Amino acid sequence: MNEKPITVLAISGSEHPDGTTADVLEHAAKILADCGALLDVVHLGQLRVSPCGPCGDCNVRPRPCEVDDDVSAIVDRMIAADGIVYATPVHGFGTAALMQAFIERAGVGHLRFTRPLANKVAGAIVTGRRYSHTEVYSHLVKNALLNRMILVGSGMPPIVYSGETGDGEGLDMVRSMLHRMVDMIGVLREHRTLTGRDALTPQTRNERQRVGA
C-alpha cells in the first residue's frame, strides 16, 4: 500500500491575504510539490482567533479552553499534519498580534495537557522589512521546542525581507528548511515502518506535573 503524501501545515500569522507572507508560502508550496509533499495553509486572518480572556485559570484548569472560535479546529489540523511551519511577519518590533494570540490560546488552552505535537517536525519563517526578525524567529523556535517538536534548521534562519522575488538568500533558506523537513519526516516514517514504533519516546506528561504525580 502506498503511503500517503507528506503534509506540512503552515500557520500564517499575517492579516494580509496577499502580503509577503502569503507570497512566501506560495513559493513554499511549489518547493514542497517538487518533493512530492503537500502544503496546507491556515490563514489566521481569515479565521476566528480570539485573544485570551479574563478567566485566568488556563494554567490550572483540567480541560481545554472553552472559548468558541476556530483555535480548536486549527489544533486538530496541526495534530493531523506531518510537519508544522510557523510563518509570521514582524509587526511593531515583535511577532504579529494574530500569531501571538494563536500561540497563547493554542499552547495554554489546548496543547499543554498531553503535548500532542511532540516529535512532529517543525520549522519557522519570518517576513518583514528591516528590524526584529531574529527576535521573532527566536520566539517561534522557542514555541516549537516548548511543544517538544523536532526543529529543523536551514543554516541561516529563513527570514525573507521582501516578496517572492526580492530576497533570494531568504528564499534559499526557506527551500533548505523545507527540503530538510521532508527528509526528516521521511526518516521518521521509515523508522516507524521498519520497527513498528516511533523513533523518539512520546512524552505526554504535562511539565507542570511533578514526576511520579
Q: Which residue has the higher pLDDT, 113 or 208?
A: 113
Least confident range from 42-51, 79-88, 105-114, 158-167: namely 158-167
pLDDT tens for residues 142-160?
999 999 999 998 889 999 9
How is residue 171 written as a grid cell? 528564499
Q: What is the pTM of this model?
A: 0.90
In the chain, what are the domains?
Answer: 7-49+70-195 (3.40.50.360)
CA distances from 123 to 54, 68, 151, 203 (A): 32, 28, 6, 20
Give first-to-last CA distance, the chain, whole Å.
42
Q: Which residue has the higher pLDDT, 199 or 128?
A: 128
pLDDT at 164: 47
pLDDT at 205: 63
When the pLDDT of each residue in the chain is averaged and rounded to a whole number, the result is 89
CA atoms within 13 A on the CB side of 195: 10
pLDDT at 213: 47
pLDDT tens for residues 30-63?
999 999 999 999 999 999 988 887 777 777 778 8
Structure confidence at residue 206 as a pLDDT band (50, 70, 90)? low
Confidence check: pLDDT of 80 > 70: yes
Degrees (nearest 5) of the Cα angle 151, 157, 161?
Answer: 135
